[in-house]
Amino acid sequence: MCETEFAETPFDTLRASFQLLLAEPCPMAVPVEETAGFIAPAREIFLPEIKRLLDAAGTRPAIKRALWGAVVRRAQAGDASWTLAAVGLSWRALAGKVLQACRKSPADAHEIQAEVLTEFLAALREVDVDDPRITDVGGWLAWRAFFASRHARRAEAAAVVDRHELPSHTAVMPLVPEGHPDLVLARAVAAGVIDRDEADWISRTCLDEENARKVAAEYGMGLSTFYHRRRAAGYKLAAAIRDGDLEHV
């Protein structure tokens, strides 16, 4: 069962790391020349004040957008501290989404949190803070991360589960005839769609429900890297099944 507490999970590490960034004296700040257009009088705004302004219901939307723009642009430029700051500033929205996922998914909280954080970082690299349609940058990032993670889980399940073994309301994609999942994986390896390692990752963590962190460690990978590579393998497998590439292997 999914736990609803974040002890010893990626979110626990995130919160602790973000608190270290906020600790005084905090060197991270948006310089005065960037605040002149939305803060009067213009001044240097340090990370703790950025957090207070973003969390406050009374802060004008224009100020929140400008602050998020400053944070995101620094993160997108490759600054690791500002990347962590962006995740920490989205904590409230992220935590709510992850708790929601935990209640609906059979996976444990640790894996769900790692997947959502991985997708958050992907969304952070892509978000256009100047897009007027994005009125709440932090909320948008959390929403994208949550739904991308959920979509990826469904795609992986579709690639390895025979619809005839599921109730009709959960069937997502038919496999080839005689489509036992292990046989499908073996055919995919033989056809060069995925390699043996990728088949092993999918079989052990999607079919046998082994702990993903344990499998990732065996292959010398961090958990985020493992999820990224397993997901890519799942997409390749799903495409091969959809296109009928495994039927005559």
Residues 6+ apart with CB under 8 A from 113: 6, 9, 10, 11, 98
124 shares its domain with 65: yes
Instruction: Please tell me the predicted confidence (pLDDT) of residue 180.
Output: 57
| Structural contact between residues 89 and 75, judged by C-beta atoms closer than 8 angstroms | no
Mean pLDDT over residues 191-208, rounded?
84
Q: Is residue 249 part of a domain?
A: no
Task: Assess whether 109 and 210 both reside in one domain.
Answer: no
Average pLDDT over residues 10-24: 87
Residues 111 and 219 in one domain: no
Are 44 and 121 in a shared domain? Answer: yes
* The pLDDT value given to residue 248: 67
Q: How many angstroms separate the CA atoms of 22 and 54, rounded?
A: 14
User: Which is more confident, 184 or 44?
Assistant: 44
Instruction: Determine the average pLDDT of the residues in 187-199.
Output: 86
Are 169 and 144 in a shared domain? Answer: no
Question: Is 80 exceeded by the pLDDT of residue 50?
Answer: yes
Q: Residue 212: inside a domain, yes or no?
A: yes
- 46: part of which helix (H) or strand (E)? strand 45-46
Q: 206 near 157, Cβ under 8 Å? A: yes
Flag whether 47 is in a domain. yes
Domain that includes residue 181, residue range: 161-242
Residue 200 confidence class, pLDDT cut points 50, 70, 90: confident
pLDDT of residue 48: 95
In this structure, the answer to whether residues 45 and 27 fall within a common structural domain is yes
| Lowest-pLDDT range of 106-120, 132-146, 177-191, 230-244 | 177-191
Cα 192 from Cα 194, distance rounded (Å): 5
Task: Specify whether 109 is located in the same domain as 75.
Answer: yes
The CATH number of the domain where 216 resides is what?
A: 1.10.10
Report pLDDT digits (tens) over 138-182.
888 988 888 777 766 666 555 554 433 434 333 333 333 344 566
Q: 249 pLDDT band (50/70/90 cuts)?
A: low
Q: What is the pLDDT of residues 206-216, one digit of tens each?
A: 777 788 888 88
Across residues 81-102, what is the average pLDDT?
A: 84
DSSP 29: E
Q: Give the Å distances, CA to CA, from 135 to 54, 87, 131, 139, 177.
A: 13, 17, 8, 9, 48
- Model confidence at 75, pLDDT cuts 50, 70, 90, reads very high
Whether residues 102 and 201 share a domain: the answer is no
**Does residue 89 contact residue 138 with C-beta atoms inside 8 Å?**
yes
The pLDDT of residue 8 is 67
Same domain? 44 vs 131? yes
- Which sign, positive or negative, has the C-alpha torsion 18, 20, 21, 26? positive
CA–CA dist 104, 109 (Å, integer): 11
Is pLDDT above 90 for 69?
yes
Mean pLDDT of the chain: 79
pTM assigned to the model: 0.62
Task: Give the up-direction half-sphere exposure of residue 84: CA atoms within 13 A in the CB hemisphere.
Answer: 16
What pLDDT score was predicted for residue 102? 66
Same-domain check for residues 33 and 118:
yes
- Is 179 a domain residue? yes
Q: Average pLDDT of 179-204?
A: 81
Per-residue confidence band for 105, with pLDDT thresholds at 50, 70 and 90: low
Q: Is the pLDDT of residue 30 over 90?
A: yes
**pLDDT (average), residues 213-221:** 86
Domain total of the chain: 2
